[in-house]
């Protein structure tokens, strides 16, 4: 895939496409110092990181307040911001080295209304500055959906949307997460499957219908060790 192919997902100007090129260059330079991504081939980064991130853009309204939990090297948050400058984005990651990289990229790309937080998802979700403050919560994390529901739904306002990005074969995972999603105040609205260069991807859209119970998420490490089942 080439940079121009990103036009399939967003109407990008030359300047925006240039920002993706600068982002790639910075990613590869920093990747030699800290582990940001196992994917380093330019075409693969465009496909598996940039295009994949932009695949959810159509679900996000202009001016939305978005949190990207476990953002890693900035996916999907930074590509979403490059493509839609009206978004107000928070990038959360538990590793300070990655946050330093994100800060550098934000500065290099001259992005506004985007900030970083170094912290654990379970702890930041109890901070009143962040709890139930967002229109959209996004993640590409590898955790199971019942664990992600506990991490993500407490960040959302009632009426907000959790957009979960997943690979193939998710039916069983969805079935086993229904209790957690309901408990945390959510309801699955739709699941969209699509092919990305022969890789099957799934987008799970979860609407938040009521406030999350105050004792969730549980303390750091507990959601993954003892998922709600």
Write out pLDDT tens, residues 111-132.
Answer: 999 999 999 999 999 999 999 9
Range list of H helices, 36-161:
42-45, 52-54, 77-83, 96-108, 121-124, 145-152
Q: Among the listed ranges 47-51, 62-66, 198-202, 215-219, which one has the minimum average pLDDT value?
A: 198-202
Pick from 87, 203, 182: nearest CA to 134: 87
| pLDDT at residue 143 greater than cutoff 80 | yes
Q: What are the pLDDT digits (tens) for 218-229?
A: 999 999 999 999
Q: What are the pLDDT digits (tens) for 163-204?
A: 999 999 999 999 999 999 999 999 999 999 999 988 899 999
> Which residue carries 């500065």 as its tokens?
107
Q: From CA 99, how far away is CA 101, in angstroms rounded?
A: 5
3 state SS of 157: strand
Q: From CA 2, how far away is CA 83, in angstroms rounded?
A: 16
| Domains of the chain, first to last | 3-225 (3.40.50.150)
| Mean pLDDT, residues 69-76 | 97
Query: What would the two tokens of residue 226 be?
Result: 């003892």
pLDDT at 1: 94
Q: Per this entry, what is the length of the chain?
A: 229
pLDDT at 142: 78
Please say whether the beta carbons of 206 and 198 come within 8 A.
Answer: no
- Answer positive or negative: Cα dihedral of 61, 134, 139, 110: positive
Beta bridge partners of residue 193, listed in sequence order: 202
């Amino acid at each position: 895939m080439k940079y121009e192919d990103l036009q399939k997902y967003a109407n990008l100007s030359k300047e925006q496409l240039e920002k993706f090129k600068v982002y790639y260059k910075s990613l590869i330079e920093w990747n030699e110092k800290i582990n940001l991504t196992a994917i380093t081939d330019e075409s693969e980064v465009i496909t598996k990181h940039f295009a994949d991130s932009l695949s959810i853009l159509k679900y996000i309204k202009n001016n939305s307040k978005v949190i990207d939990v476990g953002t890693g090297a900035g996916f999907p948050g930074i590509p979403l911001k490059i493509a839609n400058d009206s978004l107000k984005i928070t990038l959360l990651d538990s590793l300070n080295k990655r946050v330093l990289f994100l800060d550098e990229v934000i500065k290099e790309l001259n992005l506004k209304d985007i900030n970083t937080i170094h912290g654990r998802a379970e702890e930041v979700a109890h901070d009143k500055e962040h709890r139930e403050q967002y229109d959209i919560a996004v993640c590409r994390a590898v955790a199971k959906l019942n664990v992600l529901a506990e991490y993500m739904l407490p960040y959302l306002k009632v009426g907000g949307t959790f957009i979960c990005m997943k690979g193939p074969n998710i039916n069983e995972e969805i079935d086993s997460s229904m209790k957690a999603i309901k408990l945390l105040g959510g309801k699955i609205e739709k699941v969209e499957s699509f092919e990305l260069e022969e890789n099957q991807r799934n987008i799970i859209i979860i609407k938040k219908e009521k406030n999350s119970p105050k004792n969730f998420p549980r303390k750091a490490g507990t959601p993954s060790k003892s998922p709600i089942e």
